[in-house]
Structure formats: C-alpha cells, structure tokens
Amino acid sequence: MTKHLWLPLLLSAVCLACHQPPEAPLHLVCLLDVTGSVTAQGRATSFEVIHALLEKLQRGDSLIVIPVTDDAEVEGPGQILRFNLGKKRQAYDADLRQLAKDAEARLQELLASATTNPHQHTDILGTVRLAGEEFSFADKDALKVLVCLSDFIQDNAQFDFKSDRMVANEHGARELASMLAGTSKMQFQKVEAYLGMIGSKDLKKLDTVRRNAIRSFWIELLKRQGANVTWATDGSGKLARFFDQLNKERISND
C-alpha cells in the first residue's frame, strides 16, 4: 500500500471508530518480524495488516506494535510504537486525526528501516517477553489480544531453532517450552493469541518434522503462560475471522 493511500484509510478508520457502541477496551499487541529471514513480501503484508487492524480500533482501545529484532532487550524498547485512542471525544475528533497522521509516519519509518536494513538474527523469545510486559499495563477489564506474524524461527546466541536438538521433534519442543514457561510469570493470562506464519527463506530449508516442532513449541509456551492460542499457517489469512469472533464476544460481555 503506497503512502498516499494510507492516510485516507487511517483517517476514515479513526473517524468511524468514535461512533461505535461502548465495549470492553481492546489492548492489542502486535509483533512484526522485520528480520532478514522473512521475505520482503512477508514484511510488506504484515504492515498492511497493521493498517487493517487500525480500522477496528474504537475509543478506549490501544495498539502496541513491537518489531522482532535480533536483540529484543537492547533494540526492542526504542522501536515500540504505541497508539492509544482517548476515551473522551474531542471537537471534530481532532485527536483521532492526529493519531492517524502519527501512525502513518511512524509505520512508514519502521517499514523503510526494515526494508533497507533487516536484522540478520531473530529474537522472538525476547520480543514475546516485551509483549508480556505490555499486557501488565492493560486495564483490568480490557480484552487482551496478541498478534504475532513471523516465521517463528528463534535464531540468536541462546537458541537456533534451525538446528537445536530440543526443537528437532514435537516432544522435545514441548519440553523446552515447558521449561521456559516455568521460569516466567503468567504474563499472558487471559490473552487471546493469534500466531500467523509468514513467508520465510529459512522456513523453506526446514523439514516438516522440525516445522511442526517449532509450531508446537510456541503453542505450548503461550498456553502454559495462560494464553488461548490460535495458530494460522497461512499468516494473516484467518485474522479477520479471528477478530470478528472476538468482537462478538466483547459486545456480548458488555
């Protein structure tokens, strides 16, 4: 999606958001893999998804975008994008219009950086920990949602899922997930998690057994930390249906 098309879309989305009926606020955390292992098309599609999600935001909702880098603890905090839709309506929705402009500029900058200088390693585990911290700040009545679009191949000094023996099969992967989950707090308690696999150069090189093991690892890790997990092999293909179902549930709970 080109720059001149983004702004009208965002402006339209945020203007419509203020007319929606009251619902439980949405606390949405999105993890976007901007590392060199994913394809350029995969990265571009992920950013298009963020713009589509902005259309679903209503007053009181918040969206946090965290890029997956090669060192989440060092590089992640400085690149986290936070968009909060104020609960109190301002004249002519000036705040929402400004948010739309800010979102467009910041997402453009992040996409440009990821395209020209993608990270060569992948620290998804560290990025997930950052997401858990973000959920700790959610309102107690908020609907907490995690969306992660990645190839899910951890690849740093700690673990390399392309070759690590613990992720050679599903049994070992679940054991590793259990071990790592046991060292973490239940930061994903009552979080609805959507894990969408996107195009990847590294993924093509792995056999089916290891791919299944990687999938089992992430599902097990988040479930053990309290999340309800939806896995989508087709990336963002099921995301619209996922959110439609969540919206029905949060309306019915009001």
pLDDT digits (tens, 9 = 90+) for 17-33: 444 445 789 999 999 99
pLDDT in tens, 223-234: 999 999 999 999
Q: What is the pLDDT of residues 97-119, one digit of tens each?
A: 777 778 878 888 887 877 777 77
User: What pLDDT shows up at residue 169?
Assistant: 97
The token pair that represents 152 in the structure block: 């899910």
* CATH number, domain 26-252, options 3.30.300.30, 3.40.50.720, 3.30.360.10, 3.40.50.410: 3.40.50.410
**Higher local confidence (pLDDT), 64 or 17:** 64
Q: List helix spans (H) across 18-93.
A: 40-54, 72-75
pLDDT tens, residue by residue, 69-103: 888 888 777 789 898 877 766 655 677 777 777 88
What's the confidence (pLDDT) of residue 65?
A: 92
Contact 220, 173 (CB under 8 A): yes
| Tokens 């089992």 -> residue | 216
Domain boundaries, the chain: 26-252
The residues that bridge with 231 in the sheet, in sequence order, are 195
User: pLDDT value at position 93?
Assistant: 66
DSSP SS3 for 29:
strand
Determine the average pLDDT of the residues in 181-191.
84
Written as one letter, the residue type at 101 is K
Q: b/e for 98-128, b at 16 or more Cβ within 10 A?
A: ebbeebbeebeebbeebeeebbeebbbbbbb
The amino acid present at 85, given as its one-letter code, is: L
Cα distance between residue 149 and residue 69, in whole Å: 13
Q: Could you tell me the pLDDT band of residue 221, with boundaries at 50, 70 and 90?
A: very high
pLDDT at 17: 42
3-state secondary structure of 68: strand
Does 45 or 207 have the greater pLDDT score? 207
Q: Residue 253: its pLDDT value, please? A: 62
Alpha-carbon span 254 to 73, nearest angstrom: 37
Phi, psi of 198 (to 5 degrees): -110, 170
| Pairwise pLDDT comparison (135 vs 104), residue with the higher score | 135
What are the angstrom distances between the C-alpha of 32 and each of 40, 107, 222? 13, 11, 17
DSSP string, 105-171: HHHHHHHHHHHHS-BSSB-HHHHHHHHHHHHTTS-TT-EEEEEEEE----BSSS-BTTT-GGGSSHH
Tokens for 1?
Answer: 């999606």
In angstroms, the CA 67 to CA 131 distance is 10
DSSP-derived secondary structure for 170-197 = HHHHHHHHHHHHHTS--TTTTEEEEEEE
Judge contact between 202 and 162, C-beta under 8 A: yes
- Mean pLDDT (the chain) is 83
In which band, very low, low, confident or very high, does the pLDDT at 250 lie, cut at 50, 70 and 90?
Answer: low
CB atoms closer than 10 angstroms to residue 133: 13
Its pTM stands at 0.84
Q: Please compute the mean of the pLDDT values over residues 145-161 and round it to a whole number.
A: 94
**What value does the mean pLDDT take over residues 178-185?**
84
For residues 179 and 100, the model is more confident at 179
| Pairing assessment for the beta strands 81-84 and 62-68 based on DSSP bridges | antiparallel
